[in-house]
Structure 1
Amino acid sequence: MTDAIDQLLLNALMEDSRRSLKALASLTGLSSPSVSERLRRLEERGVLKGYTVEVDARSFGYQLQAIVRIRPLPGQLHEVERQIIAIPEFTECDKVTGDDCFIARLHVRSMEQLDTLLDKLNSHAETSTAIVKKTPVKRRLPPMD
């Protein structure tokens, strides 16, 4: 179970995973060694799984993001999953319940590249694609209370 200080630390790290122990200590009112110990315990319990950076894919020429719903044809589930994993422009993918088996996020440099990548799946799956215009809610933690 996490307490209010753990939650404050987690939220602070979600905003900026490079915050120093000193900054986290100042934010929580704890000493740096106490913050370090709390983070170590959160890591050991599997609550805190890693520290990461956010990179803007546009700086590498990926001007478009798409959300792709993927419905494998009968008997093609494992092949479709293998293909999704093999295409590096798929940056996230969830296996879901419902009519579609996968919902994936794809970054592409052009509409032509989008067509080329989706063509790789066409003999094994049906796809439905939506272009992302804006992301009003970035990745965040759900309420922890």
Structure 2
Amino acid sequence: MDTLDRKLIAALSADSSTSTAELARNLGVARSTVQARIERLEGSGVIAGYTIRLGEPVERRRIRATVLLQIEPRATASVLSRLRALSEIESCHSTTGRADMVLQLVAETTEELDQALDRIGAFQGVRATESLIHLSTKFDRRT
């Protein structure tokens, strides 16, 4: 990857809906150059896909939680397959320390969040859960 690739990735990260023509104008190169670079970056796996970011009014209404899971030995695979089926789970990470996994959950209501937490806690192989409800975001480097 060279400087142009990095600038192109930065521009697409800021707004993936920017047209190829606008990217070319902003980067000072031909539209065909931008298109070829994007295709190469996608083909090599550097760009794995495109997504949307929800606006602040929608994000503020959503309820987020971090959930720490303790899992019985040898139950990780079965617990993980059940976790994948829950749409409220945004991410799941294995960890070191007192928790075996850390989940990031999001729900539209406290009732939805409570139901998801109840389902997770009832999974065979889950020893214990600890839920940390997010109250406010002080800063977020991802946005």
TM range (shorter): 0.7 to 0.9
State the 1:135 CA deviation: 6.1
Alignment match of 1:136 (pick from 125, 135, 139)? 139
Unaligned segments of structure 2, at least 5 residues: none
Aligned to 1:37: 36
After TM superposition, the structure 1 = structure 2 runs for residues 67-82 of structure 1, keeping only pairs within 5 Å, are 67-82=66-81
After TM superposition, the structure 1 = structure 2 runs for residues 91-102 of structure 1, keeping only pairs within 5 Å, are 91-102=90-101
Q: TM (normalized to structure 2)?
A: 0.81
Q: Deviations over 1:89-120 (max 9, x none)?
A: 11222233443232221112333433322222
Q: 1: distance between equivalents of 2:39 and 2:82?
A: 37
Q: TM (normalized to structure 1)?
A: 0.80
State the 1:58 CA deviation: 7.1
Higher percent of residues as helix: 2
Question: 1:57·1:63 contact (CA, 8 Å) conserved in 2?
Answer: no
2:18 equivalent to 1:15:
no
State the 1:56 CA deviation: 5.2
What is the RMSD computed on CA atoms of the aligned residues? 2.5
Aligned to 1:127: 129
* Count of aligned residue pairs for this structure pair: 139
In the superposition, relative to structure 1, how do residues 116 and 58 fare at CA in structure 2: closer, same or farther (>3 Å)?
farther
% same residue:
28
Unaligned segments of structure 1, at least 5 residues: 141-145
Which stretch of the first structure deviates more once superposed, 62-71 or 31-40? 62-71
Secondary structure of 1:120's match?
helix
